[in-house]
């Protein structure tokens, strides 16, 4: 109808109506000609609307034809409720020479580290090691099987794809060479999920661990593994590779699993993975998991999770603050205070875990070598005291 609201058309219609009324002829409008079945009421309403437009519209038909259609304005973006980080949540800057040397080696060998891919805040501290002792004790977490994951957890910054690039058959040698060059005494291996591979990448993971132990039998190896879709034969392939710590993260409490993790992961599935490793009689590695706090969990949620972990005889548990990698990821619900982390450490230790690391910036592999070695020393000391009493 808007096309008929120009001044030229309105003037023509009014003249036609006047002439038709004078001669007693039946009045027709353009609308009536093209739509002969329209009711007289609609015609009368149209005439009134056109007459009203003629009083207010001073433009021409040419102007109307050239008029640009109105542009729809985009709705303003939703304001993301991002909690400001507290002052005590600060990490050590990555500026040391040991850090720079480690980063250079990673680049030269084309390796990926979860420290970088997951934007870990502790990269400066872990890669620097003990600055008072020539950087010894540095801990690196190498991410094998590529830098692209087949899953999309809503807390994780690692790239995702349904069809990542194929595995690098030379990776076991590359990783072993890098560790030898660095002179690390403790290394953490982790990986993306590879649901696109028949064995979920468990065979490749096993080869990397074996190559490391072949080059340096004294090196301590921690493997932070996927859940391998709960297929226990794949879990066993990695667990029996010669590693010292089998880690698999449960990530969060049972109630928040579906919101936080990929739909192919699950609370019960993760528990079964860790339980199966403990049941293998021919290995003596520790089992370990990590829980993120600040996602909306309650104290009772955490206690229930700890009870479930103790029921499968888990050895090591860590607590750390969830940090939102980007606006696309889950928001932080709460910044848990350092005092609260101390409370959780004490409570978990009283439940019987062999070692507990708890703090805002603690991650599953945060200064893992230092934590693991200190725990071993404590156990050995306790055994000596028991034997001497």
Identify the residue whose tokens are 């725990």.
375
CB contact set of 100 (below 8 Å; sequence gap of 6+): none
Determine the longest span between alpha carbons in the chain, in angstroms: 129
What's the distance, CA 190 to chain centroid? 15
pLDDT of 29 > 50? The answer is: no
pLDDT of 301 > 90? The answer is: yes
pTM given for the model: 0.71
Q: Mind listing the pLDDT tens digit for each residue in 161-170?
A: 888 999 999 9
Give me the pLDDT at residue 62, please.
47
Give me the pLDDT at residue 11, please.
62
* DSSP code of residue 4: G
pLDDT of 55 > 90? The answer is: no
Enumerate the β-bridge partners of residue 216.
Answer: none
Cβ(360)–Cβ(321) below 8 Å: yes
pLDDT of 120 > 80? The answer is: no
Residue 375: Cβ-neighbour burial (10 angstroms; 0-12, 13-18, 19+): middle
Round to whole Å and give the CA distance between 24 and 22: 6
First to last CA, the chain: 101
Spell 237-273 as b/e; 16+ CB within 10 A means b.
Answer: bbbbbbbbbbbbbbbbbbbbbeebbbebbbbebbbeb
Identify the residue whose tokens are 């084309």.
110
Residue 121, H or E segment = none
Cβ(192)–Cβ(164) below 8 Å: yes
Q: Mind listing the pLDDT tens digit for each residue in 196-236?
A: 999 999 999 999 999 999 999 988 899 999 999 999 999 99
Alpha-helix runs per DSSP H in the chain: 7-23, 30-34, 40-56, 61-66, 97-109, 114-117, 123-128, 171-182, 202-215, 232-239, 257-260, 267-279, 299-311, 338-350, 368-388
Q: Answer with the residue of higher pLDDT: 60 or 280.
A: 280
For the four alpha carbons of 164, 109, 125 and 305, in that order, the dihedral sign comes to: positive
Give me the pLDDT at residue 32, please.
43
Round to whole Å and give the CA distance between 367 and 352: 22
Per mean pLDDT, which of 91-95, 172-176, 229-233, 262-266 is the most reliable? 229-233
Which pLDDT band holds residue 77 (cuts at 50, 70, 90)? low
Q: Answer with the residue of higher pLDDT: 184 or 258.
A: 258
pLDDT of 19 > 60? The answer is: no
Distances (CA, A) of 77 to 74, 82, 113, 285: 8, 14, 34, 50
Cβ(254)–Cβ(266) below 8 Å: no
Which pLDDT band holds residue 51 (cuts at 50, 70, 90)? confident
Nearest to 369 by CA among 383, 385, 355, 352: 355
Give me the pLDDT at residue 39, please.
63
Round to whole Å and give the CA distance between 189 and 365: 9
Enumerate the β-bridge partners of residue 251.
Answer: 291
Round to whole Å and give the CA distance between 273 and 223: 13
Q: What is the DSSP string of 43-99?
A: HHHHHHHHHHHHHH----HHHHHHPPPPPPPPPPPPPP-PPPPPTT-----S--HHH
């Amino acid at each position: 109808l808007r096309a008929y609201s120009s001044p030229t058309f309105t003037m023509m219609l009014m003249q036609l109506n006047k002439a038709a009324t004078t001669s007693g002829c039946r009045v027709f409008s353009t609308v009536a000609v093209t739509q002969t079945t329209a009711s007289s009421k609609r015609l009368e309403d149209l005439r009134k609307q056109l007459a009203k437009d003629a009083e207010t519209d001073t433009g021409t038909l040419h102007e109307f034809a050239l008029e640009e259609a109105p542009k729809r304005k985009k709705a303003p973006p939703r304001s993301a409720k991002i909690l400001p980080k507290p002052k005590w949540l600060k990490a050590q800057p990555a500026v040391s020479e040991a850090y720079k040397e480690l980063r250079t080696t990673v680049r030269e060998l084309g390796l990926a580290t979860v420290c970088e891919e997951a934007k870990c805040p502790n990269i400066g501290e872990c890669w620097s090691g003990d600055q008072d002792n020539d950087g010894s004790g540095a801990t690196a977490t190498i991410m094998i099987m590529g830098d692209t994951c087949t899953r999309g957890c809503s807390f994780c910054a690692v790239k995702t794809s349904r069809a990542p690039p194929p595995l690098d058959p030379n990776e076991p040698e590359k990783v072993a060479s890098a560790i030898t060059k660095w002179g690390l005494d403790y290394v953490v291996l982790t990986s993306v999920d590879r649901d696109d591979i028949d064995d979920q990448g468990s065979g490749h993971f096993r080869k990397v661990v074996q190559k490391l132990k072949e080059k340096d039998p004294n090196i301590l190896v921690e493997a932070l593994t996927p859940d391998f879709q709960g297929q226990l034969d794949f879990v066993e392939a990695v667990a029996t590779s010669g590693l010292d710590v089998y880690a698999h993260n449960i990530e969060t409490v049972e109630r928040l699993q579906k919101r936080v993790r990929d739909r192919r992961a699950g609370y019960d599935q993760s528990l079964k993975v860790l339980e199966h490793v403990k049941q293998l009689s021919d290995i003596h590695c520790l089992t370990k998991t990590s829980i993120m706090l600040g996602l909306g969990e309650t104290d009772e949620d955490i206690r229930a999770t700890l009870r479930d972990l103790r029921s499968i005889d888990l050895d090591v548990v860590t607590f750390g603050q969830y940090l939102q990698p980007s606006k696309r990821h889950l928001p932080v619900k709460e910044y848990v205070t350092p005092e609260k982390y101390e409370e959780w450490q004490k409570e978990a230790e009283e439940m019987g875990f062999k070692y507990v690391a708890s703090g805002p910036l603690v991650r599953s592999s945060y200064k893992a070598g230092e934590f693991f070695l200190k725990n071993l020393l404590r156990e050995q000391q306790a055994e000596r005291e028991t034997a001497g009493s």
